[in-house]
Amino acid sequence: MARTLVLDLDGTLVDSVPDLASALNRLMAARGLAAFTRPETAAMVGDGVEKLLERAFAARGQELDGAALAAFSSDYAAHAAVETRPFPGVAAGLRALAGEGWRLAVCTNKPEGAARALLSALGLAELLAAVGAGDSFPTRKPDPAHLLATLQAAGGSPERAVMTGDHANDVKAAHGAGLPCIFAAWGYGGPAMAEGADAVAQTFPEMVVIARRLLAP
């Protein structure tokens, strides 16, 4: 059975906060609400678009409504790859693993349409065996069923797979699914979110080395 690496998207594969913050602030401006800084936006990322907006509206003393969610989703999908870029070493690392026969997959709480559009725009989609997004299955992270469904779609097995992510949701999903988890310290989650991870990588290239070690042939 081939080895499989399942990766979170925002904060792990790509630095998407610039475009998320821009879309969020366009929405805030349309509602007459104060903008958010990029660090403030990063702190709200990790549980999907709806949670991001719920947190943003709550921070401004407002409640999220369906129209705002729809407006943000449409706007962001059209501008998801303006400033968003892969983190250093991502493309080379993924290509190296693919060349070794690894299956690669993304498991994200981001909506599937936006996730696939972003991955395609950045030239990463062609390297992936599957994309399990926030609306791809009935469950999503931290529910391990989301990770297991993504893994199944990629043709992998829990016994020969590892998860990498920058959020506590990734660690919880991995452990619930019986996979080792590498915490992406270069991402948006703070050190506290690494609790329980099997390893911590400071850079994507270091993560590749750790993944090889955890799933030695």
Based on the fold, state whether residues 111 and 207 are members of the same structural domain: yes
DSSP letters of the chain?
---EEEE-SBTTTEE-HHHHHHHHHHHHHHTT-----HHHHHHT-SS-HHHHHHHHHHHTT----HHHHHHHHHHHHHTTTSS-EEPTTHHHHHHHHHHTT-EEEEE-SS-HHHHHHHHHHTT-GGG-SEEE-TTTSS--TTSHHHHHHHHHHTT--GGGEEEEESSHHHHHHHHHHT--EEEETTSSS-GGGGTT-SEEESSHHHHHHHHHHHT--
Based on the fold, state whether residues 106 and 199 are members of the same structural domain: yes
State residue 217's pLDDT score: 80
State residue 115's pLDDT score: 94
State residue 1's pLDDT score: 81
**For residue 202, what is the domain's CATH number?**
3.40.50.1000
Query: Tokens standing for 133?
Result: 């997004």
Based on the fold, state whether residues 71 and 45 are members of the same structural domain: yes
State residue 22's pLDDT score: 98
Based on the fold, state whether residues 25 and 8 are members of the same structural domain: no
Based on the fold, state whether residues 193 and 126 are members of the same structural domain: yes
Of 8, 10, 166, 170, the catalytic one is 8
Give CA angle at 206 (160, 157), nearest 5°: 10
pLDDT digits (tens, 9 = 90+) for 78-111: 999 999 999 999 999 999 999 999 999 999 999 9
Based on the fold, state whether residues 9 and 90 are members of the same structural domain: yes
Based on the fold, state whether residues 73 and 93 are members of the same structural domain: no
* Residue segments in the chain with a per-residue pLDDT below the cut of 70: none
Give yes or no: 143 in active site. Answer: no
Q: Which is nearest to 106 in space by CA: 192, 212, 11?
A: 11
Query: Tokens standing for 45?
Result: 């990322």
Query: Tokens standing for 215?
Result: 């799933």
Which of 26, 57, 78 terminates a domain? The answer is 78
Which of 78, 101, 117 terminates a domain? The answer is 78
Based on the fold, state whether residues 38 and 109 are members of the same structural domain: no
**For residue 44, what is the domain's CATH number?**
1.10.150.240
- Domain total for the chain? 2
Based on the fold, state whether residues 54 and 119 are members of the same structural domain: no
Give the whole-angstrom CA distance, residue 18 versus residue 2: 35
Based on the fold, state whether residues 150 and 207 are members of the same structural domain: yes
Give the whole-angstrom CA distance, residue 177 versus residue 1: 18
CB 147 within 8 A of CB 163: yes
First to last CA, the chain: 10
Based on the fold, state whether residues 116 and 139 are members of the same structural domain: yes
Based on the fold, state whether residues 97 and 174 are members of the same structural domain: yes
Give CA angle at 44 (130, 209), nearest 5°: 45
Give the whole-angstrom CA distance, residue 30 versus residue 23: 11
* Strand-pair partners of 200: 183
Owning domain of residue 97 = 4-15+85-214
158 upstream amide cis, omega within 30 of 0: no
State residue 41's pLDDT score: 97
State residue 48's pLDDT score: 85
Which of 47, 78, 109 terminates a domain? The answer is 78
Give the whole-angstrom CA distance, residue 11 versus residue 166: 6
